[in-house]
A = this chain, B = another copy of it.
């Protein structure tokens, strides 16, 4: 059992599957003019309405290097506003707009379409979900 055989690695199928599923999302997200990263950002805002960049980054495992330009773009598109916090000017607060809220409707069907094309049983999906979160938690 060669540890350097591609087929013996866990990371590689993770990396490939992740890219593959994002590629399933892409044509659906194109219709609402979002990239995958923009989409998961909007998902947080659909839940929370208003959140600081630091906390947002912790939810998404992304830092300001990725988020700053991405949030500026979403702001330009009118989906959110960016404002410095009054209490602590170091913090930038991101808040969803009406337009951003409205976009949620057009996104509702997307997850179901992707899950369908993944063809996993409910059990398999649950197992996968649980293993991935176990890994995530200890990182």
A13 & B111 in contact (Cβ 8 Å cutoff): no
Residue of B nearest to A46 (CB): B4
Chain B residues closer than 8 Å to A138, beta-carbon distance: 118-119
Q: Size of chain A's interface in residues, with CB distance under 8 A?
A: 55
- A residues contacting B by CB (< 8 A) are 2-6, 8-25, 36, 40, 43-44, 46-47, 59-61, 104, 107-108, 111-112, 114-115, 118-120, 124-125, 127-129, 131-136, 138-139
Q: Which 9 A-B pairs have the closest CB atoms?
A: A13-B132, A18-B18, A3-B111, A20-B139, A14-B18, A11-B21, A15-B18, A128-B131, A6-B43
How far apart are the CA atoms of A12 and B37 in the complex, in Å? 10
